[in-house]
C-alpha cells in the first residue's frame, strides 16, 4: 500500500474515532423546563453567577406550566420544575419519573385575586374566573371552592394559560384569576384583592424537580450537578440578597424589593430538609403525596384507579 494512502486512511480512522468518542463522552446538555415562578429562579440565578454551565444544562422557560408539562410528556425535556400535583398527573399517564429535589413549599405565593368589590371567596358566585386547566390552577380552585362550600358549577370558569391571566384581568375580561408570583405582586399593586392563598392549604403546593426515569438511571452526574448548583444558588441568595434580587428582578419584571418580598410567601428547603422530605423510610413528602392523591381523586383531576408508585429519591441530596 502506498505510504500516502496509508497516512490518509489512518487520518480518516483517527478522525472517526475522535468523533464517535466525543458523542459518547460529551452527551447533550440536560434540557430543564420551567415557567416563570420565584421558586424556580435560583436555577437561573445559578446560571447568571456562573455556577450552571450551559454545556451541561439548558434552561428553557415556557409561558405556562401547562406548556412545560406538554414538553416534558413529549420528551422535549429531560427534566422539569413542576408542582407535586402536576407530577402526579404525569404518573397517571404512565410516564416513569423520579423527583430528585424539592424547590420550595408555597406559603402564600400562590393566590386567587379578585377585582375591587369582591372581598371573599363567597362573593365569586357567577363571576368569571380565569383558571389554567390541567395544572396547578385546577388544583388550587378546587381546594378553594371545597373549603368555602362552593362547587365549580357556582362559578363561570374561563380556561386560559396562566401567562394570559394578567392581561385578561387588566382588559376586564375576567373578574377573578387563579395565579401566583410575580403576577400576584403586580396586580395587588393595581388594586386587586387577595381572597385565597396557598397559606390556607399549607404543605399541599410543593414545587419539585422531576426527571424521566431513563435520565435518572443514565445521567446521574448531570443531575447531581444541577442539584449542587441549586444549593449553591441558595447560599448565594442568602449571603448576597440585594445583588441576587437585582439579577432576578429583570426576569420577574419586578423591583428588587418586590422580589425579596415575594419570597416571603415561599419556603426554600435546605439540604437537611430536602433529605427529610425525599429520603428515609418514611419521607415527609410521601404523606403530602397521599393527601394530594386523595384531593385529586375527589375532584376528578386524576382517575380513581391511579396508583402512585414510590417516585422520590434523595440520592443527589448530599
- Kindly state whether residues 100 and 215 are assigned to the same domain: yes
pLDDT digits (tens, 9 = 90+) for 239-262: 999 999 999 999 899 999 999 999
At 13, the pLDDT band (50, 70, 90 cuts) reads very low
Q: Tell me if 7 is assigned to some domain.
A: no
Q: Tell me if 236 is assigned to some domain.
A: yes
- Kindly state whether residues 121 and 232 are assigned to the same domain: no
Nearest Cα residue to 112 out of 27, 5, 200, 209: 200
Q: Tell me if 306 is assigned to some domain.
A: no
Q: Tell me if 171 is assigned to some domain.
A: yes
The alpha carbon torsion through 48, 252, 31, 105 (nearest 10 deg) reads 100
Nearest Cα residue to 62 out of 80, 90, 36: 36
Nearest Cα residue to 111 out of 59, 170, 37, 49: 37
- Kindly state whether residues 51 and 67 are assigned to the same domain: yes
Q: Tell me if 291 is assigned to some domain.
A: yes
Supply the CATH number for residue 140's domain: 3.40.190.10
- In angstroms, the CA 123 to CA 102 distance is 35
Give the count of domains, the chain.
2
- Kindly state whether residues 100 and 211 are assigned to the same domain: yes
- Kindly state whether residues 165 and 288 are assigned to the same domain: no
Instruction: Give the residue from 146, 166, 201 where a domain finishes.
Output: 201
pLDDT recorded at residue 260: 94
Q: Report which secondary-structure segment, H or E, holds 113.
A: strand 110-114
Count CB atoms within 10 A of the CB of residue 235: 12
- Kindly state whether residues 94 and 210 are assigned to the same domain: yes
pLDDT digits (tens, 9 = 90+) for 31-54: 999 999 999 999 999 999 999 988
For the chain, percent of residues with pLDDT exceeding 90:
81
Q: Tell me if 315 is assigned to some domain.
A: no
Question: Is 277 a residue whose pLDDT tops 50?
Answer: yes
Instruction: Give the residue from 174, 201, 228 where a domain finishes.
Output: 201
pLDDT recorded at residue 10: 43
Q: Tell me if 59 is assigned to some domain.
A: yes
Q: Tell me if 9 is assigned to some domain.
A: no
- Kindly state whether residues 208 and 193 are assigned to the same domain: no
Nearest Cα residue to 315 out of 250, 229, 228: 228
Instruction: Give the residue from 201, 229, 257 where a domain finishes.
Output: 201
The b-or-e profile of 248-287 (16+ CB within 10 A means b, else e) is bbebbebebebbbebbebbbbbeeeebbbbbbeeebbbbe
Q: Could you say which DSSP state residue 114 is in?
A: E
- In angstroms, the CA 97 to CA 54 distance is 23
pLDDT digits (tens, 9 = 90+) for 62-94: 999 999 999 999 999 999 999 999 999 999 999
pLDDT recorded at residue 63: 92
- Kindly state whether residues 272 and 129 are assigned to the same domain: no
Q: Report which secondary-structure segment, H or E, holds 195.
A: strand 193-197
pLDDT recorded at residue 299: 80
- Kindly state whether residues 87 and 229 are assigned to the same domain: yes
pLDDT recorded at residue 141: 95
- Kindly state whether residues 219 and 283 are assigned to the same domain: yes
pLDDT digits (tens, 9 = 90+) for 159-214: 999 999 999 999 999 999 999 999 999 999 999 999 999 999 999 999 999 999 99
pLDDT recorded at residue 307: 86
Name beta bridge partners: 106: 266
Q: What are phi and psi of 168, to 5 degrees?
A: -65, -40
- Kindly state whether residues 175 and 285 are assigned to the same domain: no
- Cβ-count burial of 9 within 10 angstroms (0-12 exposed, 13-18 middle, 19+ buried)? exposed
At 221, the pLDDT band (50, 70, 90 cuts) reads very high
pLDDT digits (tens, 9 = 90+) for 97-149: 999 999 999 999 999 999 999 999 999 999 999 999 877 898 999 999 999 99
What are the CA-CA distances from residue 235 to residues 15, 60, 181, 231, 259 (Å)?
44, 23, 22, 6, 17
Return all residues near 243 (Cβ < 8 A) that are at least 6 apart: none
pLDDT recorded at residue 22: 41
pLDDT recorded at residue 134: 73
- In angstroms, the CA 58 to CA 43 distance is 11
pLDDT recorded at residue 25: 54
- Kindly state whether residues 209 and 135 are assigned to the same domain: no
At 26, the pLDDT band (50, 70, 90 cuts) reads low
pLDDT recorded at residue 16: 44
Domain that holds residue 209: 28-105+204-298
> 39 and 106 in contact (C-beta within 8 Å)?
yes
Amino acid at each position: 500500500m502506498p505510504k500516502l494512502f496509508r497516512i490518509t486512511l489512518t487520518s480518516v480512522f483517527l478522525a472517526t474515532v475522535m468523533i464517535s468518542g466525543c458523542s459518547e463522552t460529551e452527551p447533550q446538555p440536560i434540557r430543564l423546563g420551567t415557567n416563570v415562578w420565584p421558586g424556580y429562579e435560583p436555577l437561573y440565578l445559578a446560571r447568571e453567577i456562573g455556577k450552571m454551565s450551559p454545556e451541561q444544562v439548558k434552561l428553557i422557560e415556557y409561558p405556562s406550566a401547562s406548556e412545560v408539562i406538554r414538553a416534558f410528556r413529549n420528551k422535549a425535556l429531560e427534566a422539569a420544575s413542576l408542582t407535586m400535583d402536576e407530577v402526579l398527573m404525569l404518573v397517571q399517564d404512565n410516564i416513569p419519573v423520579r423527583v430528585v429535589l424539592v424547590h420550595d413549599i408555597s406559603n402564600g405565593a400562590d393566590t386567587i385575586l379578585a377585582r375591587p368589590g369582591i372581598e371573599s371567596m363567597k362573593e365569586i358566585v357567577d363571576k368569571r374566573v380565569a383558571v389554567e386547566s390541567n395544572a396547578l390552577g385546577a388544583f388550587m380552585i378546587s381546594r378553594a371552592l371545597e373549603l368555602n362550600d362552593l362547587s365549580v358549577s357556582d362559578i363561570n370558569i374561563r380556561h386560559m394559560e396562566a401567562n394570559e391571566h394578567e392581561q385578561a384581568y387588566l382588559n376586564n375580561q375576567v373578574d377573578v384569576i387563579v395565579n401566583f408570583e410575580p403576577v400576584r405582586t403586580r396586580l395587588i399593586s393595581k388594586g386587586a384583592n387577595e381572597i385565597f392563598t396557598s397559606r390556607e392549604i399549607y404543605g399541599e403546593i410543593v414545587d419539585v424537580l422531576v426527571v424521566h426515569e431513563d435520565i435518572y438511571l443514565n445521567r446521574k452526574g448531570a443531575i447531581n450537578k444541577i442539584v449542587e448548583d441549586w444549593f449553591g444558588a441558595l447560599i448565594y441568595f442568602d449571603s448576597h440578597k440585594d445583588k441576587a434580587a437585582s439579577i432576578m428582578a429583570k426576569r420577574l419584571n419586578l423591583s428588587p424589593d418586590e422580589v425579596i418580598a415575594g419570597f416571603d410567601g415561599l419556603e426554600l428547603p435546605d439540604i437537611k430538609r430536602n433529605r427529610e422530605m425525599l429520603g428515609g423510610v418514611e419521607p415527609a413528602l410521601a404523606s403530602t403525596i397521599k393527601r394530594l392523591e386523595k384531593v385529586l381523586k375527589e375532584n376528578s383531576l386524576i382517575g380513581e384507579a391511579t396508583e402512585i408508585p414510590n417516585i422520590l429519591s434523595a440520592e443527589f441530596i448530599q
